[in-house]
Amino acid sequence: MHKSFYASQSVYSEPGRYRETLMRGGVEPQSIARWISSFMQHPRGAKSEERGFKPEQAADLELRSVAEILAVAVKRNLLDGVSAQHKVGGVCRDFAILAVSRFRERGTPARLRVGFADYLAPGHWEDHWLCEWHDGTRWKRLDVEFAAIGGVSFDTLDVPRERFLTATEAWFRIKDEPEIASRFGVSSLGLSGEWFVAGSLLREMAALRKLELKPWDYWGPSKDLSPVSPELSHQARTTFDQLASRLRTVSVDGEDEPEALADWPLPEEVISFPQGEAVAVVLRSL
């Protein structure tokens, strides 16, 4: 079955004038991952520990679209051999959306998956986003960063389901075991708990509808979430339970936008925290 919804570009995965640049990334998942990692740098990755993460790279974290990311890479001559310029700063979402864009550009269904990985920090389920693509038979989850550098004991081109939990799976895991909620989040920043997973639920819903947001975007029922006041109100918990239940049962294997999510409102504006301070961001029109 041709999964046309996920095989076409979204407003943020669209490469625009950089379509030919994107096609230089190769065809195979491993090649795509290595190409992306050749010009992208994570603020908490090994390269940043060695070389530091410069202010201009921190500013790159506000780039939302594939076209914007590639524009910076081209401007810094990062795609033509060795460059003295700093790599483009980006987090897992940015690595993943570049891969998603590359798959979609050749008509292969692909999407972002929002969730938590157990292989980034010992004893923690760390906030992490993967590229999920369909090989004609089934969906596979590609960890773009680790596919390029290795360092884990499993196939990073097909991440095992037990090593990566979607936000929905994480929500129900901590409902069954509330005492483990503090293990879900971003341990290096001291951000964790049920409130963090709640925000991820909304971002997961948006990603499945091809609105690929940033890991620090909040709107609607998530605007009141905070590590300072981590307890969810009864109303908020009810809302997130309802969303999680929909996400748990949604069919994402068809050709169209997941029907069970179609009436859940998508934001036109988000409150974003790219540098730790709240910024209002008006999103591109769908």
**pLDDT (tens digit per residue) in 256-266:** 889 899 999 99
- Could you tell me the two tokens for 108? 């292969």
- Longest CA pairwise span in the chain (Å): 55
Q: Rounded to whole angstroms, how far apart are CA atoms 242 and 248?
A: 10
pLDDT at 286: 61
**205 in Cβ contact with 186 (< 8 Å):** no
The two counts, helices (H) then strands (E), for the chain are 11, 11
pTM of this structure: 0.96
CA pair distance 46, 49, nearest whole angstrom: 5
Give strand pairing partners of 128.
115
Identity of the amino acid at 157: L
- Parallel, antiparallel or unpaired: strands 125-134 and 184-186: parallel
Cα angle 23-28-1, degrees, rounded to a multiple of 5: 95
Q: For the chain, list residues with pLDDT below 50.
A: 1
Strands (E), 212-266: 217-218
Apex CA 143: angle with CA 138 and CA 146, to 5°?
A: 140
Can you list the alpha helix ranges (DSSP code H) found in the chain? 4-7, 19-22, 29-37, 46-51, 55-60, 66-75, 92-105, 144-149, 167-176, 194-208, 234-249
